[in-house]
């Protein structure tokens, strides 16, 4: 009987160990395959993280409704944090006017219901972002609002950049609007030819550019004030790619950065992505939106 009990205990330990290893293996491979765009070759997750640790800004693109994209973002944030880096998370999802809400959430001063209410006033798809915000709160990782008043970008998308008044421009200091052909082409490819709906496409591109430059300006302010931190910026792929926020940041400061984009079949793929657009491409993520 005693021998049987010992054997049973050993079996339970072995099963528990196997389950833990399986969970770790699943977490380690959740991101799928990683293409080093410079070398045109695949590399392990750990090698990419080792490179990201040498930078001050890491841009990780997304499609907003893709759970797998946000799981990949969280995996990168977790890896940098566990490696001992001081991490901050820059967010397209919050406007700068709501920075206090982010600070109170991280400080544990508001509960999840209250925070979710504020999140949904700014954005949508709480379910796919929730784990990122919970991890930031649990680990005390700063959350940084980067976005600008929605009415500004909506007006530019409808009427163009020149429609902004001097008073409106004061709300987005440092904003630029120098749309070039490469930028227009990437917007068409990354968002789809009809992503702008019934808007004039040039105005749509100008709205994207205003968005990029304003978020870049807010990001620069944070990075300059917190030079020891690695800012992981979560934004739509059309903002996170190198012609988007990163280029506008470079106009204001010289900083080491990397761009990590998810593969988007038919738009951003291993066959057509270049080093002018990204440093790493995440391949094999779930392509189905979590919500419709």
pLDDT tens digits for 129-162?
A: 999 999 999 999 999 999 988 888 889 988 988 8
- Higher per-residue confidence, 249 vs 32: 249
pLDDT at position 17 over 60: no
pLDDT at position 27 over 60: no
pLDDT of residue 95: 94
Query: Mean pLDDT in the chain?
Result: 85
pLDDT at position 127 over 60: yes
Mean pLDDT, to the nearest integer, of 231-240? 95
Measuring CA to CA, how many Å separate 64 from each of 41, 91, 170, 287, 288?
Answer: 27, 12, 29, 12, 12
289 — pLDDT class (breaks 50, 70, 90): low
pLDDT tens digits for 153-191?
A: 889 988 988 898 988 888 777 676 777 787 777 677 655
Mean pLDDT, to the nearest integer, of 235-257? 94
pLDDT of residue 197: 54
Class of domain 33-283 (CATH, top level): alpha beta
pLDDT of residue 31: 82
Give percent above pLDDT 90 in the chain. 62
pLDDT of residue 267: 82
pLDDT of residue 175: 74
Question: Is-contact 249 216, C-beta < 8 A?
Answer: yes
126 — pLDDT class (breaks 50, 70, 90): very high
Lowest mean per-residue pLDDT among 76-90, 96-110, 186-200, 229-243: 186-200
The pTM for the full model equals 0.83
pLDDT tens digits for 197-225?
A: 555 788 888 888 888 989 999 999 999 99
pLDDT at position 253 over 50: yes
pLDDT tens digits for 44-78?
A: 999 999 999 999 999 999 999 999 999 999 999 99
Mean pLDDT, to the nearest integer, of 216-245? 95
> What is the domain partition of the chain in residue ranges?
1-30, 33-283
């Amino acid at each position: 009987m005693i021998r049987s009990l010992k054997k049973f205990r050993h079996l339970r330990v072995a099963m528990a160990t196997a389950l833990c290893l399986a969970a770790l293996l699943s977490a380690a491979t959740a991101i799928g395959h990683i293409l080093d765009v410079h070398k045109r070759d695949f590399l392990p997750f750990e090698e990419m993280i080792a490179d990201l640790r040498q930078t001050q800004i890491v841009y990780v693109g997304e499609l907003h409704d893709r759970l797998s994209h946000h799981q990949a973002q969280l995996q990168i944030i977790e890896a940098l944090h566990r490696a001992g880096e001081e991490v901050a998370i820059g967010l397209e999802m919050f406007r700068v006017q709501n920075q206090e809400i982010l600070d109170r959430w991280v400080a544990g001063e508001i509960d999840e219901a209250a925070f979710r209410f504020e999140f949904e006033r700014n954005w949508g798809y709480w379910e796919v972002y929730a784990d990122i915000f919970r991890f930031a709160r649990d680990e005390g990782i700063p959350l940084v609002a980067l976005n600008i008043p929605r009415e500004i970008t909506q007006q530019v998308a409808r009427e163009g950049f020149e429609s902004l008044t001097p008073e409106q421009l004061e709300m987005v200091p440092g904003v630029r609007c120098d749309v070039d052909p490469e930028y227009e082409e990437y917007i068409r490819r990354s968002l789809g030819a009809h992503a702008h709906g019934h808007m004039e496409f040039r105005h749509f591109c100008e709205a994207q550019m205003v968005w990029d430059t304003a978020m870049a300006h807010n990001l620069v302010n944070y990075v300059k004030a917190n030079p020891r931190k690695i800012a992981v910026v979560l934004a739509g792929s059309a903002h996170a790619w190198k012609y988007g926020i990163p280029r506008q940041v470079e106009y204001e400061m010289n900083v080491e950065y990397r761009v990590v984009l998810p593969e988007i079949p038919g738009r951003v793929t291993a066959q057509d992505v270049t080093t002018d657009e990204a440093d790493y491409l995440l391949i094999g993520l779930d392509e189905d939106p979590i919500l419709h």
